[in-house]
Structure 1
Amino acid sequence: MPLHEPQQPFTWHLREHMAAAGMFKTTDLVEPLREAGVHLSREQVYRLVTSPPARLNMEVLAALCQILHCTPNDLIHVNTARSGLHETRRTGTSNSGASVGELRPIPARLRRPPSE
């Protein structure tokens, strides 16, 4: 019986954008990153390109977007169809049934103490 790998919460499209920019080897990205002020080894760039990163430095993401002329949304696609991700939880003592999006703020009444 094959084991099913849990679905990643996002899809990483760096390799596709590199190919569209004419970069077909992971080492093609090392020098442009260095010129953008991001110093990564060849091994780090290889891991960044070939597998979805667990964590990503914002400077690296900004440099990738600058080099590939894209946005973070182009590089990262969030997979929303995960089971158990959108469980409804209620907190507090209110049983009104209204969700957070339906609640409206109540204007505050400020009262100053009488001045003497």
Structure 2
Amino acid sequence: MATHGMYQTSDLVPLLAERGVHLSREHVYRLVARTPQRLNMDVLAALCEILDCEPNDLLIPTVVEDKPARTAGGETGPGIGDLRPIRAQVRRPPTDA
């Protein structure tokens, strides 16, 4: 941004709007100042056009390890241990014949 004379994240708001991407100042700030969890392809394309760069100039791929899946036995993470609910039995009421 600095190489294009933009020193505030709010400078991007009107430039994005010109390209059909309407974001609030707060959203643009979070997009620039923090690591976004998701990024719309329209936003990425507009940013690339505004900054005259390629997507790989803006994105750095990283590997994030997932948490281990919780198994039916509950071995992973906090659980209820050996306590299990008793399965309910539905019985028909006796009929008077």
Determine the C-alpha separation between the residues in 2 that align with 1:21 and 1:75: 15
Determine the C-alpha separation between the residues in 2 that align with 1:20 and 1:27: 16
Aligned partner letter, 1:30: V
Which residue of structure 1 lines up, in the alignment, with residue 6 of structure 2? 23
Structure 1 residue ranges, 4+ long, deviating more than 2 angstroms after superposition: none
Deviation, structure 1 residue 21: 1.4
Q: In the alignment, which of 29, 35, 40 is matched to residue 18 of structure 2?
A: 35
More strand by share: 1
Aligned partner letter, 1:44: H
Aligned-residue CA RMSD (Å): 1.7
Aligned partner letter, 1:51: R
Determine the C-alpha separation between the residues in 1 that align with 2:18 and 2:40: 17
Which residue of structure 1 lines up, in the alignment, with residue 73 of structure 2? none
Identity of aligned residues (%): 61
Task: Give deviations 1:68-101, integer Å, cap 9, x for gaps.
Answer: 0001000012246x7x69xxxxxxxxxxxxxxxx
Aligned partner letter, 1:49: V
Number of corresponding residues: 66
Q: Identify which of structures 1 and 2 has the higher relative contact order when contacts are C-alpha pairs closer than 8 Å and 6+ apart.
A: 1
Deviation, structure 1 residue 49: 0.7
Which residue of structure 2 lines up, in the alignment, with residue 74 of structure 1? 57
1:44 aligns with 2:27: yes
Within-5 A mapping of 1:1-116: 18-79=1-62
Determine helix, strand or coil for the equivalent of 1:32: helix
Which segments of 5 or more consecutive residues in structure 1 lack a partner in the other structure? Answer: 1-17, 86-116
